[in-house]
Structure 1
Amino acid sequence: MIDIVRDGAAKVGGLGILASYLGIRHQAFYSWKRVPAERVLDFERVTGISRHLQRPDLYGARLAGPASSQAGTGEGAAP
């Protein structure tokens, strides 16, 4: 399972809860190599993890500024 899913699950209280919020089965997460494009915005809404961290290939790297949605993710947090 990818780290971003682990981080998201930790934020919402577990993998099953995250899957429920996204309307998928928790087993689907194990096939993800990255967050699917059609799930990015929902994943961001539910977990607070920036779309820029999830899919920089689609949304670009987050510009310097407030790191509110990056805090605690362990990825790309502003120094």
Structure 2
Amino acid sequence: MLLLFTFSVFMVVSSIHCQTIDLVPGNFAPDEPSICFNPCTVKLGDKECKTICLNKTYKDGSCIGFGIPPSLKYCCCTK
């Protein structure tokens, strides 16, 4: 039972980390879809996120807060 619960938690977390976000209200224009991944930390901030996104051939990148109120920040790249 514990193994099944742990597996379920990992599946939910991985789906959240890897899903494509089409629009984050207030952060991107509707014609600029984005992809979000890696949680932002002290070592992975806006500057590092932008560098990762530019290396992956996206236009820009920054740490975007999710939740109400925003409690988790993820690195998001704009196409």
Q: TM-score range by the shorter chain?
A: under 0.3
Whose helix proportion is higher, 1 or 2?
1
TM-score, normalised relative to structure 1: 0.21
Q: Which has the larger radius of gyration?
A: 2
TM-score, normalised relative to structure 2: 0.21
Whose strand proportion is higher, 1 or 2?
2
